[in-house]
Amino acid sequence: MIQRLLGAAACALLLPAAVIAPALAQQSAGVTVIVNGQTMNFPQPPVEQAGRVFVPLRGIFEQLGASVVYQNGTINATGNGRNVSLHIGSTQATVNGQPETLDSPPFIENATTLVPLRFIAQALGASVNWNNNTSTVAIYSAHGHSASGYRGNAYNAPPEQPMNAGAYVTNREPVGMTRDRDPAISADFARPVRRDSVHVTLDGRDITGAVDVSSDGFQYTPDRPLYPGRHTIRVSGVTQEGASFSTSWDFTV
């Protein structure tokens, strides 16, 4: 009996992180995921791990208008003019060739590959809003794709976006040229926004976690000197009225 237990323990130590990870996960049956007004009915319920919601691989990519290829633990998706690559059990990912770091890696549970919902949606250019009162994740993509095979109950769609979505972001800094290699990057929101919906990237690198965000604007100081040349800031989010926006600007160091 003791030998059997020791043998089982030894086998467990040899299991890859991608297989062990689901042991820490909990099914989030109470979480509702809505994409472009469609309530998602996944083959497997969403799973919560380390405070993040994970959903089945193909359902979310296809609903956001992306094609996906999964081979040997690597997930490559293309859609909406973006390329996203992730790896089972790894927190390292790339978006349009730029490195990104995940809070929690994709993993496999019950033969189903699960990916982090917020990261995937934002990597494909969608806006994500979390309603804590109803445990609902509402995702709005600019293209409003809907995949066959996933049907749900009707849900109120967000208000139509204005033609000039960039009008929501004003007083951008810096603009043009700056000699400062550690410039204070900031902007104001013309209308109050939902703080948890704001997503900011610098040269394609997600810096949202390091950005000081309020309903009226955001500020960020680079953690290391920027290289001389052109840099791009992109910010997206959802106003408190429910209108999503995404815009960018460039500056040169």
136 plus 175 within the same structural domain: no
Residue 176 pLDDT grade (very low, low, confident, very high; cuts 50, 70, 90)? confident
In a domain, 236, yes or no: yes
What is the pLDDT, as a whole number, of residue 23? 43
Helix extents (H) in 203-249: none
Domain count, the chain: 2
Across the range 76-95, mean pLDDT stands at 90
In a domain, 147, yes or no: no
pLDDT in tens, 133-162: 777 888 877 555 433 333 333 333 334 333
When the pLDDT of each residue in the chain is averaged and rounded to a whole number, the result is 76
Is residue 13 scored above 80 in pLDDT?
Answer: no
In a domain, 157, yes or no: no
What is the pLDDT, as a whole number, of residue 174? 92
Is residue 144 classed exposed, middle or buried when 0-12, 13-18 and 19+ CB atoms within 10 A define those classes?
Answer: middle
Instruction: Read off φ and ψ for residue 198, nearest 5 degrees.
Output: -75, 135
Helix extents (H) in the chain: 2-14, 17-20, 57-63, 117-123
CATH number for the domain that contains residue 193: 2.60.40.10
Is residue 76 scored above 60 in pLDDT?
Answer: yes
Q: What is the DSSP string of 83-112?
A: EEEEETT-SEEEETTEEEE-SS--EEETTE
Q: In terms of residues, how long is the chain?
A: 253
Is residue 62 scored above 70 in pLDDT?
Answer: yes
User: Of the candidates 125, 237, 221, 239, which has an alpha carbon nearest to the alpha carbon of residue 174?
Assistant: 221
User: Of the candidates 122, 157, 139, which has an alpha carbon nearest to the alpha carbon of residue 32?
Assistant: 139
Q: Which domain holds residue 219?
A: 165-252
79 or 145, which is more confident? 79
Sheet architecture: strand order including 82-87: 67-71, 74-79, 82-87, 92-95, 98-101
Q: How far apart are CA 207 and CA 183, in angstroms?
A: 15
Across the range 96-118, mean pLDDT stands at 87
Handedness of CA 41, 63, 17, 205 (dihedral sign): negative
Is residue 63 scored above 90 in pLDDT?
Answer: no
In a domain, 155, yes or no: no
108 plus 182 within the same structural domain: no
Is residue 61 scored above 50 in pLDDT?
Answer: yes
Is residue 197 classed exposed, middle or buried when 0-12, 13-18 and 19+ CB atoms within 10 A define those classes?
Answer: buried
Least confidently predicted of 23-32, 59-68, 80-89, 109-118: 23-32
46 or 74, which is more confident? 74
Is residue 158 classed exposed, middle or buried when 0-12, 13-18 and 19+ CB atoms within 10 A define those classes?
Answer: middle
Across the range 23-28, mean pLDDT stands at 47
In a domain, 149, yes or no: no
Question: Where are the extended beta strands (E) located within 117-197?
Answer: 127-131, 136-140, 169-173, 176-177, 185-189
In a domain, 214, yes or no: yes
Is residue 219 scored above 90 in pLDDT?
Answer: yes
Question: Of 140, 175, 202, which residue constitutes the final position of a domain?
Answer: 140
Is residue 14 scored above 80 in pLDDT?
Answer: no
Residue 3 pLDDT grade (very low, low, confident, very high; cuts 50, 70, 90)? very low
What is the pLDDT, as a whole number, of residue 142? 55
Name the CA radius of gyration of the chain, rounded: 20
In a domain, 156, yes or no: no
For strand 169-173 and strand 107-109, is the pairing parallel, antiparallel, or unpaired? Answer: unpaired
Is residue 74 scored above 90 in pLDDT?
Answer: yes
